[in-house]
A and B are shown apart, each in its own frame.
Chain A
Amino acid sequence: MVSAAILAVLILAVLIGPFLWRVPIDEIDFSARLQGPSWAHPLGTDDLGQDLLARILYGGQISLAVGFAAMLVAVVLGVLVGAVAGMAGGKVDAALMWLTDLFLSLPELPILLLIIYLFRDALTAMVGPEMGVFILIVAVIGGFRWMPVARLVRAQFMSLREKEFVEAARALGASRLRLVWRHILPNALGPVIVAATIDIAAAIIAESTLSFLGLGFPPDIPTWGRLLYDAKDHLDFAPHWALFPGLAIFLTVLTINFVGDGLRDALDPRRVR
């Protein structure tokens, strides 16, 4: 509950904050370089005198957007693969599960880096630097996170499709698609929601990691990971520059994880409280 409230505050701050705190993110002020927190700059400034609060709020929008979008990609892919495998059974199931296991044993970060290295320039040329990197990062992170969801959904489908109410619906002549959409899927969603919540946190960490390695968004877009990347060489005389974006990532991920855990307890009747 507390964490849900903190998370809500964080999301609201990131969404509304830029309207209240109207300092531009790229206003360079050399007279205020690397300053600690003050009234003019509540979270201090970076090496170009740019206001960190404004940059963190802006970066938060990107980080959260990437998190949600990547989660959606992962959940849609996972539900699709899991549902097909769970309903079809037999050879299709075996093949899809082999694919899932294969993806599970791929080293995620090296392949993410590889794909971004290979495709970034082409996509950037097609849809512009910001959109290009956004699409690429969301697609790739989502594309490497669907496996747990697929396994969950498959397991749920396997047990649900033998249940009496599904049998009854089938006996009434419901089509296969209707069976899946109206009867099985809604009942399988509980664990998927939990997995989806945790996926948001994982996607935010993945995006920040890429940006931290200097391979995410271009330098003029201050995502939280990018801010840390820029700050890491100034740790000794401007620690606030690294601390605040790091804290933002930490708090967001921690509260999302707590909310996911709470949801798990709420949705899983077998767990004793």
Chain B
Amino acid sequence: MLQYLIRRLLIAIPSLLGISVVLFTVLALAPGDPFEELATNPAIPPEVRANLRASLGLDDPIHQRYFAWLFAMLRGEWGYSFVSRIPVDDLILQRLPTTVVVIGASQILALAIALPVGVLAAARPYSLFDQLANLFAFVGFSLPTFFTGLLFILLFSITLDWLPFVYRTNIEATGWRWWWEHIRQAIMPVMVLGLFQGASWTRFVRSAVLDVIRLDHVTTARAKGLPERRIITRHVVRNALIPVVTLVALQMPIVFGGAIVTEQIFRVPGIGSLLISAILANDTPVIMAVTFVFACLVVFFNLLADILYGFLDPRISYR
């Protein structure tokens, strides 16, 4: 088990390196200069600017700059935000928990919708329930998250006035009340993300279960006279989950895209809204760092999927 983990981690390193190369190339190819601000400032003489450039290594060849940047990132020196002058890693650590909580809760909601609906739909293919589930899935993943978000605000905040639509961090309450306020304001972002994901997962689950339910071992289980419930839970779902885990891991980049949009709509103070505000304020170090963190999260979830395979399918041994 430990060996398997270490091997998967080692495989993840090249992809992280690849991502860092892509990010750095984009940055290096981009026109414009981090010193644009200084260049247009008449109070700074050109020699000073040239010296600054040299001391920061901006005139070095590109591969040298890449390694310098990479080692700085590895040592945790992520630079300072141009706007707030706070170290970037502090800024991200402040915001990351909110994002992780919102994304995590929405994924659990998505799973809670997709698993039962998908399995039931596949157990009776082409029935009324299956067709309804199919319709729900299509509507769910055709509704872009930004439109669902606006619809929810319109319905629950403006028309019904049940839920707040601005996410606040400074809630003046303690104990149960504090929790209640936090849950109340998280409902809409989590619902928006979870419904969108749940809809597309429903289709994955349904087609995976349909593939498994026709296999011989399921027929054997039926012939043995096992109750249907046990056949579905023990013999079908567990096998069907393997391709589903792959697809879910592949969907992770889309989940983060949706998270950025939802955070922006509901003003959730996570790293997604940090990214948007940094882009609007031309805050390059923050933009680079947040993009890299998102990339790391994607790689991390792929790793998690790999580990899950081992649990679901003993044939994939931890070698």
Contact = CB atoms under 8 A, between A and B. Distances in A.
User: Which secondary structure characterizes the binding site on chain A?
Assistant: helix
A254 B138 contact: yes
Contact of B31 (A119, A228, A246): A119
Contacts of A169: none
Given A113-B276, A118-B32, A250-B147, A107 B298 contact: yes
B26 interface: yes
Nearest to A251: B142
B15 A235 contact: no
A252 to B, nearest CB: 9
A138 B101 CA distance: 33
A183 to B, nearest CB: 30
Nearest to B159: A239
Interface stretch (A29-37, A45-53, A78-86, A204-212): A204-212
A173 B151 CA distance: 62
Interface string A125-150: 00000000000000000000000000
A108 interface: yes
Nearest to B147: A246
B253 A212 contact: no
A257 interface: yes
Interface residues of A, number: 44
B253 A235 contact: no
A236 B297 CA distance: 36
Contacts of A122: 30-32
Contact of A254 (B32, B142, B254, B261): B142
B150 A106 contact: no
A109 B262 CA distance: 13
Contacts of B316: none
Interface string A79-107: 00000000000000000001001101111
Contacts, number: 132
A105 B26 contact: no
A242 B26 contact: no
A236 B15 contact: no
User: Which secondary structure characterizes the binding site on chain B?
Assistant: helix
Interface string B263-301: 011000000000110011010000110110011011100
A250 B144 contact: yes
Nearest to A148: B250
Contacts of A225: 146
Contacts of A205: 144
Contact of A257 (B142, B158, B299): B142
Contact of B26 (A115, A208, A235): A115
A106 B158 contact: no
B22 A106 contact: yes
A213 B259 CA distance: 12
A235 B22 CA distance: 39
B260 interface: yes
A110 B286 CA distance: 12
A114 interface: yes
Nearest to B261: A209
A119 B30 contact: yes
A105 B265 contact: no
A214 interface: yes
B166 interface: no
A235 B150 contact: yes
B32 A215 contact: no
Given A212-B146, A239-B154, A106 B31 contact: no
B116 interface: no
B103 interface: no
A102 B22 contact: yes
A228 B158 contact: no
Contact of B254 (A102, A108, A236): A108
Interface in A179-226: 201, 205, 208-209, 212-215, 225
B70 interface: no
A23 to B, nearest CB: 25
A144 to B, nearest CB: 9
A120 to B, nearest CB: 10
B256 interface: yes
B257 interface: yes
B30 A101 contact: no
A110 B294 contact: yes
A213 B263 CA distance: 11
A154 B31 CA distance: 35
A209 to B, nearest CB: 6
The 5 closest A-B pairs by CB, nearest first: A109-B257, A118-B30, A254-B142, A122-B31, A107-B294
Interface of A: 98, 101-102, 104-111, 113-115, 117-119, 121-122, 201, 205, 208-209, 212-215, 225, 228, 231-232, 235-236, 239, 242-243, 246, 249-250, 253-254, 257-258, 261
29 contacts: A98-B18, A106-B19, A107-B252, A107-B257, A107-B291, A107-B294, A109-B260, A110-B290, A110-B294, A113-B276, A113-B287, A114-B26, A114-B279, A114-B288, A115-B26, A117-B282, A118-B27, A118-B31, A208-B146, A209-B261, A212-B146, A213-B276, A215-B279, A232-B265, A239-B154, A239-B158, A246-B144, A254-B142, A257-B141
Interface of B: 15, 18-19, 22-23, 26-27, 30-32, 138-139, 141-147, 150-151, 153-154, 158, 250, 252-254, 256-257, 260-261, 264-265, 275-276, 279-280, 282, 287-288, 290-291, 294-295, 297-299, 302
